[in-house]
Structures are given as C-alpha cells and as structure tokens.
Chain A
C-alpha cells in the first residue's frame, strides 16, 4: 500500500459513515456535557433505544415511520425516566447511573427471555428490505463506486447513508446553534457553571436539565437509528460503553461547548485512527490484526493525552473560555 493510498483511505474514513454517526451522536452529547455540564456516560443507551425502535418495527413489518416514532419515543421516555430521579443529584451520580443503565439496556436486549422482542444475542438481520432505506437511494450502483483513485471510494449505498447522517448532523448542529444563542441556551450554560446561582436567579434548574437531557438523547437515538438503517441489521454487542467513550473523545477533541466541535472532532478522530492503522499495516514487518486494533487505540489515547496537555480546550474551543472555567 502506498503512502498516498494510506492517506486517501484515512480521508475516506474521516468523512465516511462511521465519522458521520459519531458526529451526530456527539452533537447530542455535546449538548449534555459541553453546554449543560451533565456527565452522561450512558449516551450509547440512547443510541440503543433509537436503534431498537427502528429494528423492532422493521422486524414486525411496521415500517420505518413507526420505527422512528418508536425510537424517538423510547429516547424521550429513557431521558425522563433516567433524568427525573438523577438530575437532582450531583454530577458524578449521574455519570454512575447513566453508565449502569446503558449497560442494563444492552444486557436486557441481549438476554434470552427478551429474544422474542429484541432477537436476543443474535439480534435481527436482513432488515434492509423491510426498512426500505436504500429503495429511495438517489445514487445509482456503479462498478468501482464513487470517488477518486482506489482508496477514496464509496459505494452508492455508503453515499446514501452518509448523505442522511451528515445531513441530520447538520440539522442537529443548526438546532443547537439556534438554541444556545437564545436565552434558553444561556440558562443551560449557567447551570453548567453553577446551578445554585441559576436557582437563586429564578431558573427551574431540573426542568432545563431534563430538556437538555431528552433533546441530546433524541439526537443520540437518531445516530442509533442510522446505524441500523445503514447496516440493515441490529445486534446488542455494538452498544457497549467504549462507544460512549469514543463519542466523548470526539466531543473533547473537537471542543466541548462549541457548535461545530463534534463534527470536526469526529472527522479528525477517524482520520487519525485510520491513518495510524494504515501506517502500522505498512511497516516493514508484519503486525497481526488484533495488535493493530490495540495499537490504533493506544495511538488515539496518546493523541488525547497530548491534546489535554497542549490544547485542553479542543480544536475549536477557546483557550480564554477554558481558562475562565479553570479559574472558577
């Protein structure tokens, strides 16, 4: 593999479907963590309920519209159920409860007794035709796909999934942009800074936290839905805590509390991961696949550490704002 194709493949991954759904989920998490100061460590739980909403509806032949309603409804219910008892508590309790609930959801979906509803450990496959997601694809199948050269190439199906996912990411960013520059967004930020001060100034802190929690969760659920739409299948093993951590990395890398941080963070994250993998595979000695997988994560970890030391506010974050936070 030439260096040029390593670079092309890294670029392809950086704007590909994976980067897109990480960005979309990160927009939701950014609303929680970056703007409201909520340590939601169970974001993958919101993705899971969105995904299963669409997956279960498709399996039963209810169609995509019902599936989306189901997924959004489940995310709202999860946000309220999880938020009402926990958002009154201190931040670290929320982190513990959310990570536990997300794990519970995955284990319940995975468990034998729920197999009739969720498909159990195997989940559901072959949903593509039932979902009908690719039926409206505007990109025609083309031998060799769309792109330049051999590595920077997408299939017509990949392009369709990317179009929707990046499109929704754009809509979500726009929504966040409109909201955070409104007085509503100012209240969110004040809660992030000091919720007692917000309370003393007449703000119903719990309601704002719930709104932020539910809205960010619904955005996460859409990311989950798109994963099912793209794959045409669903299984419980995908919705594990490391996915939440990857989305946190994306948020922090891009700059928590910035509009476009999640997008930039996701693109850079996937570029670095894919580039590292390409370089490791292209060394003069052989490295096994499992080692590559571990190494690229180690490289990402190292990159995050360097970022925290040299640019803790993330790529788009303002250093002045970050220092203001540290000086509180």
Chain B
C-alpha cells in the first residue's frame, strides 16, 4: 500500500476505526438454528479503496456480505451506508442508494439481450407503470442516453460485439464481465463483489482484477469477498479476514499474509503448534 494511503496510520487490529468509512457495521449476528454463522463486533469499510473480505470456506463471509446488502436478515446488529441506516433496509433500496452487488454464481438474465441487461440496471421513469404507457417520449430520451452509456461500458468490458445477443449465449467469463458492467450501470458508490474470480480461468482473472482496480481509480469503493488469498493480495488496499463468523484480523495484504491467526484459520493448525513462513 502506498505511503499516501488513507489507512497508513490505522492500527492493524479487528474492528479498527477508519478515517472515512462508507460502511460501518456493529454487533451483526446471524444464527441458523444453533449455529452462529456471523458474529461481527465491528467493521468499518473505508471509502475509495479496495477492501477484501477473506477467510476459509465456511467462515461466514458470504453470509455477512448477504446481510450487509439486505439479501439476508440479521438476528442482531446495525449498520450504516454513507452515514444512513442500512440494516433492515430492502436490497433494492440499498441498490438505489448506491450499494450494488454481484453474485458468486452469475445471475445474467438469459432471455434478455446483453444490452437489455445493461439498460435494466439504469434507472428510468418508464419503469413505473403509468409513465411506461403515457410518457414514452420522456422515457425514450432517457433510454437513449442510457443506451449510450451502456455501449460505452460494453466497449470497455469488450462485450460490444455481443450487444444484441441473448445473455444466455455468453460464456461463463463473459457473464462475469457482463455482471460487473451491469452493476456499473446503477452508478454505484460501493461495489460489492461476491467471489468474482470463482471458476474463472487465469487470463480472465487478470482482466477482472484490472477492471476492479479501475473501479477504485474512478473513485468507487469496492468490497470484495474471496477465499483465494493469492487473488486478492495484489489488488487489495485493505484485507479483512473472517473465521468461524468472526473478524480475526485486519490489515494490509502484507500484514495479513504474515498474521499467525490468519495462517491458522486457513491451515487449521492446532493451538500451540509451530507455524513458520507465510502465505504469499
């Protein structure tokens, strides 16, 4: 992380306060029967950087992620997004406030064209019932603007040649790209990516990582769930590690790679055992 980073002076400890958080969560728990899947005391996600949420399988990352964006209901806890309350808020409202998510298993809309997938994500008054019928001129103009923006994004994600194809005809990698491009059509301030690299070949992984970096460079905040440490080390500005539902470590990628608790969580070493080396 560059010395000028806003988090250079922030302590490397779980739940640490950050100078300019976009998302602040406190006391979030989610239980399934007797199992506590998520039990997060405090987490702040800094604005304008790439934060990775890592942890071994079953650490509760995705559950926590789903809670934050309203796709699952927390048993306890509160969190704010851009300073406003975000717990108990419906996912579509959070999306309109600028918190957009993608899915681990891509959810492209198969029987809609690639372009329609993009246009769907942009707001348009013609999405309401009566304006749809009675003000086609008005929403038509907005639609045309949205189409220009969609075309630009499709070019950037190298999907422009597939613009009029059904999204179902896309390869797995192209769907990942479409999902990311579509998320950008909502004009988000926080992009939440749920394991975007899962099941993706190495070449595409590099391309996706470049796109993620570009989001940050354009001023968006990124929260990234990933269980593969190698993937996030190069692009993350900050890493949060979860294990067994709790946040066990926070820090720069370098801090995290050398953290005993993280290595233990990933490798499952007994307490008292000797650990040497680090995860690269």
Contact = CB atoms under 8 A, between A and B. Distances in A.
A binds B: yes
B107 A211 contact: no
Contact of B112 (A175, A189, A204, A205): A189
A30 to B, nearest CB: 15
B110 A203 contact: no
B186 interface: yes
Nearest to B133: A178
Contacts of A220: none
Contacts of A179: 129, 132-133
Contacts of A205: 92
A33 to B, nearest CB: 14
Interface string A192-214: 11101111111111000001000
Given A183-B139, A190-B120, A327-B168, A202 B110 contact: no
Given A211-B129, A321-B111, A204 B168 contact: no
B110 A327 contact: yes
B1 interface: no
B182 interface: yes
A129 interface: no
Interface string A141-184: 00000000000000000000000000000000001001100111
Contacts of A202: 92-93, 95-96, 100, 121, 123, 186
A320 B113 CA distance: 12
A320 B206 CA distance: 32
A198 B139 CA distance: 19
A283 interface: no
Nearest to A328: B110
A308 B100 CA distance: 39
A182 B110 CA distance: 18
Contacts, number: 112
21 contacts: A183-B119, A183-B132, A183-B139, A186-B116, A186-B127, A189-B116, A190-B120, A194-B107, A196-B103, A196-B107, A199-B91, A199-B92, A199-B95, A200-B101, A200-B103, A202-B95, A202-B96, A202-B121, A320-B166, A323-B168, A324-B169
A308 B131 CA distance: 38
A40 B101 CA distance: 30
Given A179-B132, A199-B95, A201-B120, A184 B109 contact: no
B154 to A, nearest CB: 16
Interface residues of A, number: 33
A194 B168 CA distance: 12
A325 B120 contact: no
Interface string A288-328: 00000000000000000000000000000000110111011
A228 interface: no
B197 to A, nearest CB: 19
B132 A185 contact: yes
B124 interface: yes
A200 B95 contact: yes
A214 to B, nearest CB: 10
A14 interface: no
A184 B125 CA distance: 9
Interface in B68-111: 69, 71, 90-93, 95-96, 100-103, 107-111
B219 interface: no
A178 B132 CA distance: 8
Contacts of B133: 175, 178-179, 182
A29 interface: no
Contacts of A328: 110, 168
B258 interface: no
